[in-house]
Amino acid sequence: MRIERVEVYKVSIKLKKPFVISLGPVTHADNIYLRIRTDEGVSGFGECSPSLTINGESTGTCIDVAQYLARALMGLDPRDTGRCSEVMDSVIYANTSIKSAFEIALYDIASQAKGVPLYAFLGGKNNRKLYTDYTVSLSGASEMAEEALDIKKRGFPSIKVKLGDNRRNDVERVLKIREAVGKDIPLRLDANQGWDRLTAKDVLNDLADLNIQYCEEPIPRWDYMSLPEVRQASPIPLMADESCLDHNDARRLIGMDACDYINIKLGKSSGLTKASKIAELASGAGMLMMVGGFIETRLAFTASAHFSLSCESIVFSDFDSPLMMEHDPVTGGIEYGGGGLVTVPEKPGLGAAVDDSYLEQLSCVVIDNS
């Protein structure tokens, strides 16, 4: 089996309302869909949602870099996912978002060729239930409390809260939310690098008694050397996000005792190959993990859900982005049930695709053997 054609599509899907974090607002899912076709008629789909502020990519850079990657992969066996990953890294440094779209498509093909769902191809079992949280984006305290209450009424088992402003405002936000939703439902905080180390320690201690499950990336990613200090002072567990892109970052953070948990995102790790290496390292260190994502549709989050089933130490899920979109062009894929339940498809491969009639409306760059 050989790769003979790659199709790169630029997509923009409006969100139901702006999604705001400390790094700025998002109004559309400006993403890339990618399809790899083989000489044996097997095709695989991938997706990425590039972020200028997190992985330094845009849809424009993704389209440009995708052409370099596609030409390097042309004629290779897509079932040799490790080799394909090495080839992409040899072509260009970083560019983790577009590489993840290629990897999702490659693993889709490889697991289809084996006749098994992606989670089984990764060595996992569909023997436990996945539940996603839902996120309150950054705004005024009263507005965030109202949104959190709505999330609780919709049955989600936990509420993720975007912070990263300043001590007074962020503490007020969480107090208002806790007052609105009661004391029992867990809150997950995400500062998105918004605090300095002193502010982080102050805020986390201020919120010590409010049933906070963890706090993601409290300080800037470049200041990761201060994470052990913040962790030691914090009564709330810390989760590494932006400071942990790949397995090399994971090894460093684990060795430093810098965090309690790690948030794995395929768009940060370059896809499933390095994400699996992160999971192996963290699991070996007795560390629990979450799988999250960017503003992807159900296509990429289907890959993330399959990956979550590959390691029992992955116990947290943050798969809510597709629920924020006005339109869903994905066929198959994960399904959302009551209480935040996420069901993974049992079909061979990813079990998800993009509707052809939708793809026909999009601009497309084709790379093939011609």
- What pLDDT score does 152 carry? 98
For the question of residue 14 being annotated catalytic, the response is: no
Mean of pLDDT values over 1-28: 96
- What pLDDT score does 337 carry? 98
Let me know: does 69 contact 98? Beta carbons within 8 Å.
Answer: yes
**Residue 353 pLDDT > 80:** yes
Say which DSSP state 303 is in: H
Q: Say if residue 286 is exposed, middle or buried (CB neighbours under 10 Å; 0-12, 13-18, 19+).
A: exposed
CATH of domain 121-352: 3.20.20.120
- What pLDDT score does 370 carry? 77
> Residue 216 pairs with which residues in a beta bridge?
190, 239
For the question of residue 190 being annotated catalytic, the response is: yes
Q: Which of 47, 57, 170, 241 is catalytic?
A: 241
Spatial CA neighbour of 103 closest among 252, 265, 240, 248: 265
Q: Which of 47, 133, 216, 249 is catalytic?
A: 216
Q: Alpha carbon of 359 to those of 7, 35, 329, 354: distances in Å?
A: 10, 10, 9, 7
For the question of residue 216 being annotated catalytic, the response is: yes
Mean of pLDDT values over 6-20: 97
CATH of domain 3-116+353-368: 3.30.390.10
**Residue 223 pLDDT > 80:** yes
Q: Which of 103, 108, 133, 190 is catalytic?
A: 190
Mean of pLDDT values over 60-78: 98
Q: Confidence class of residue 151 from pLDDT cuts 50, 70 and 90? A: very high
For the question of residue 280 being annotated catalytic, the response is: no
Let me know: does 250 contact 262? Beta carbons within 8 Å.
Answer: yes
Q: Which of 99, 152, 160, 162 is catalytic?
A: 162
Residue 137 and residue 129: Cα distance in Å, rounded?
Answer: 26
Say yes or no: do domains 3-116+353-368 and 121-352 share a fold: no
- What pLDDT score does 209 carry? 96
Q: Which of 152, 160, 201, 265 is catalytic?
A: 265
Q: Which two tokens stand for residue 329?
A: 């062009």
What is the per-residue pLDDT across 296-327, written as a single tens digit (0 to 9) for each? 999 999 999 999 999 999 999 999 999 999 99
Mean of pLDDT values over 75-101: 98
> CB count, 10 Å around CB of 186?
14
R_g of the chain, CA atoms, integer Å: 20
Let me know: does 359 contact 299? Beta carbons within 8 Å.
Answer: no
- Please state the domain extents for the chain: 3-116+353-368, 121-352
Within 8 A by CB and 6+ apart from 80, the residues are none
Question: Tokens 């990618």, residue?
Answer: 34
- What pLDDT score does 132 carry? 98
3-class DSSP state of 159: strand
Mean of pLDDT values over 195-201: 98
What is the per-residue pLDDT across 256-274, written as a single tens digit (0 to 9) for each? 999 999 999 999 999 999 9
Residue 5 and residue 185: Cα distance in Å, rounded?
Answer: 48
- Across 106-184, where does the E strand assignment appear? 130-131, 134-136, 159-162
Sign of the alpha-carbon dihedral angle for 306, 309, 314, 316: positive
For the question of residue 183 being annotated catalytic, the response is: no
Q: Would you give the end-to-end CA distance of the chain in angstroms?
A: 18
